A and B are shown apart, each in its own frame.
Chain A
Amino acid sequence: MTTFIIRRLLQLIPVLLGVTVLVFSLMHLTPGNPAVIMAGESAPEATVRAIEARLGLNDPLHIQYFNFLSNALQLDFGVSIRDNIPVFDHIRPRFFITMELAIYGTIFAVVFGLLVGIVSAARQYSFSDVALMVVALFGLSMPNFWLGLMLIQWFAIELRWFAPTGWGDPNQIALPVIALGTAGAAIIARMTRSSMLDVLSQDYIRTARAKGVKERIVIFRHALKNALIPVVTVIGLQFGYFLGGSILTESVFAINGLGRLIIDSILQRDFPVVQGAILVISVSFVIVNLVVDISYRFLNKRVDLN
């Protein structure tokens, strides 16, 4: 187990280096002089020179990358072009909001996904199974930003049950969490259903039923435990995808998270902020994946992840 964790950690190093190279390249692959783009076309020469000097754009590329990397390791992503505030100060408060959104979204997805999946599997081919799976397929096919708009329309504008925008109050949290979590809930429901059906067709379940164990106990005590092992991976992946998916949800509900920061900064050509925020999201995603891998290994000792 320890060697597995160490090996996984070592594998992370080239991936994380690659991620930093890609993020670093963003500014340099953009056509034109980044300093001119950031200062604006009509900016005076001096402003452009000042930005060039501050970002070290006149150094050779490998020196620039090395500085970028060593600064990033110390959580220093430079300062925002817009307001000269350190990028990290922009990122930190918004990071927690995005995390909160992703965590609540995951909880929503897990609760509803498991519930629907278990009910569906326990009553395979019944009316409720078919109906739930149709709903799940719809959930999977809906753009989360459109679902968000519709939720605002129905529950905020017409019924006035919830606030249409913002983050923090309970009545602001519900709609974005549903919008973000629905697709994940659908994926987890489908996964749980097929995994449960797999387990329910196994011999030990037939034995349990033959012994006269109540169906409820068969499902929750005997089957669920084994059926959940593959589902755990999906849950972990969903949390990771919510970090990326929250970009759209944050835009719809005007939530001041990392996603919105990225969009605003792209539109305003504030490269250091874009780079820092993208880097933070992908590193978190990589770490989440690592934790998922390790917990999968821990839960399922039979799997050899060679």
Chain B
Amino acid sequence: MAVVSKESVLETKPVNPRVKSMKDFYKRLKKNKSALVGFYVLLFFFFVSIFGAIDANYGITGVSSNATNLTAKLQGPSAEYWFGTDHLGRDIFIRILHGMYITLGVGFAATFLAGLVGVPLGIISGYFGGWVDTVIMRLMDILLAFPGILLALAIVSVLGGSTINVTIAIAIGAVPQFARIVRGSTLTTKKLEYVDAIRALGAKNGKIIFQHILPNIMSPIIVNTTLFIATAILSAAGLSFLGLGVQPPTPEWGAMLNDGRNYMYQASHITFFPGMMIVIIVLAFNLFGDGLRDALDPKMKK
């Protein structure tokens, strides 16, 4: 009898295409030199930031990021103070080291929170369509009506400035971006023939979404997550720079830039080094994200 059971159709798929494409993906990523540079720089800073976090809390180097030394204030870079000292004589190198996990942590946490809310919203919107889609997307449009840092600023003005509130504010601002991208990819995936076939075989919505839609839309999610961490780091530094984010004396890099701008005439290194560190980390995320996009989306690659 030629009656094919439900299970056998679902199981006699050819070799899992995902596994094959993962191998492909690594091969393509390895060929992309700049993406690899970005990846190794990030890996390096990841470990440095862990060391910094431990040192900040348990004092391995024995130097505190808030130890003031008024006899050594506004000193330029030297063998003793690699990045110089600020207006209170605090060691800028140590402050950057101790602040690194805050910068990276806020970037990761805000992006993760945004994805946690934005991805399901995008999938629901794209998969179910109709009025659910309209309502969700109009709500997202409302959030998108506040350009750039403005929404995060408004939220922080309500919640007050602190590390957690900055993370929440930036996450809320990023939700619509995730939702939009995920909705678009879901719409494309939903229309694929094999999804129709699986539905015809009686698969439930939940199964279709988790086993068939989600794996297919992972690439745009991963790429945008990487690139969004870069934006989140910039926004967090911006809010702290305005004095509305992470509050001093926490050695957050944007807050350090804010401290330093009053001493630009005497000591330009106070504003130079924290900013340069932001540039390097954001650049690494952008390089890696660009490389990921090229590797995950072969069509884009020339």
Contact = CB atoms under 8 A, between A and B. Distances in A.
A108 to B, nearest CB: 17
A248 B257 contact: no
A157 B150 contact: no
Contacts, number: 130
Given A18-B142, A149-B264, A245 B271 contact: no
Nearest to A16: B145
Interface residues of A, number: 46
Tell me whether chain B's interface is mostly helix, strand or loop, or mixed: helix
A249 B70 CA distance: 32
A197 B300 CA distance: 11
Interface residues of B, number: 40
B150 A281 contact: yes
Given A141-B282, A142-B279, A240-B147, A19 B142 contact: yes
Contacts of A282: 145-147, 150
B230 interface: yes
Interface stretch (B104-112, B123-131, B238-246): B238-246
Contacts of A153: 264, 268, 271-272
A143 B275 CA distance: 8
Given A149-B271, A153-B264, A247-B150, A138 B138 contact: no
Interface in B235-289: 237-238, 241-244, 254, 257, 260-261, 264-265, 268, 271-272, 275, 278-279, 282-283, 286-287
26 contacts: A14-B142, A15-B138, A19-B146, A22-B142, A22-B146, A137-B286, A141-B286, A142-B279, A143-B234, A143-B237, A143-B238, A143-B241, A145-B238, A145-B241, A146-B257, A146-B271, A149-B275, A157-B264, A244-B146, A244-B147, A244-B150, A245-B148, A247-B150, A267-B244, A278-B146, A281-B146
Interface of A: 11, 14-16, 18-19, 22-23, 26, 29-30, 137-138, 140-143, 145-146, 149-150, 152-153, 157, 197, 201, 240-241, 243-245, 247-248, 251-252, 262-263, 266-267, 274, 278, 281-283, 285-286
